[in-house]
């Protein structure tokens, strides 16, 4: 996946300024695809040059603020990408490399770091479950779009639960001693 598709998705949900996009990105797609605000702004410029989005100036107290909307070629690019095949992504987690390094060294106790990550993943799980409860209450009528958004959120919930189960197993064994 590229940042372009994440931005197109967000702008199709709601056209906005770059600052609004960066804030919204941090609160939604950012859970599944990380990007810095600088990367987002750089990508917006490239997308505008490529004719995928258009920027319209809005008057503000500081001058003009650029409000971005998706153009027909941008929508078509996202449709093509959504209908295509994606690559399987390998796990890329710093903690796993630390554990591998600790295994090679044989002198480093990583249990405190494992417990810290366990707490962090628990917090993320709670956040995802709160979003699911708030935005997708059980028994509520849902559109196809709602079902797809819930499926993405459920993937995050399942991931976090799986990670926590793995962490419990590791901490119960020699690495947690």
Among the candidates 61, 83, 105, a domain finishes at 83
**Same domain (yes/no): 98, 171:** yes
**Same domain (yes/no): 125, 56:** no
Does the residue 98 lie in any domain? yes
The residues, ordered by sequence, that sit 6+ positions from 157 with a Cβ below 8 Å of its Cβ are: 125, 128, 129, 132
The helix (run of H) or strand (run of E) holding residue 68 is strand 63-70
**Same domain (yes/no): 77, 21:** yes
**Same domain (yes/no): 123, 54:** no
pLDDT in single tens digits along all 177 residues of the chain: 589 999 999 999 899 998 899 888 877 777 778 888 899 999 999 999 999 999 987 655 566 688 899 999 999 999 999 999 988 888 888 999 999 999 999 999 999 999 999 999 999 999 999 999 999 998 889 999 999 999 999 999 999 999 999 999 999 986 555
Q: What is the pTM of this model?
A: 0.75
**Same domain (yes/no): 60, 102:** no
- 37 phi and psi angles, rounded to 5 deg: -60, -40
HSE-CB at 16 with a 13 A cutoff on CA atoms is 18
Q: What is the count of structural domains for the chain?
A: 2
**Same domain (yes/no): 144, 79:** no
The residues, ordered by sequence, that sit 6+ positions from 29 with a Cβ below 8 Å of its Cβ are: 6, 9, 10
Residue 77: domain span: 3-83
């Amino acid at each position: 996946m590229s940042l372009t598709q994440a931005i197109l998705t967000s702008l199709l949900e709601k056209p906005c300024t770059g600052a609004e996009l960066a804030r919204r990105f941090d609160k939604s797609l950012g859970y599944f695809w990380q990007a810095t605000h600088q990367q987002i702004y750089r990508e917006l410029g490239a997308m505008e040059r490529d004719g995928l989005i258009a920027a319209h100036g809005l008057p503000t107290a500081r001058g003009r603020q650029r409000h971005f909307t998706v153009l027909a070629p941008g929508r078509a690019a996202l449709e093509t990408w959504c209908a295509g095949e994606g690559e399987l992504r390998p796990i890329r987690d710093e903690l796993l490399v630390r554990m591998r390094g600790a295994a090679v060294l044989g002198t480093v106790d990583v249990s405190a770091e494992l417990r810290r990550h366990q707490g962090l993943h628990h917090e993320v799980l709670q956040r995802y479950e709160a979003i699911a409860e708030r935005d997708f209450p059980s028994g509520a009528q849902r559109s196809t779009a709602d079902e797809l958004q819930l499926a993405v959120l459920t993937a995050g919930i399942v991931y976090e639960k799986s990670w926590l189960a793995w962490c419990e197993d590791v901490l119960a064994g020699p690495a947690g001693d």
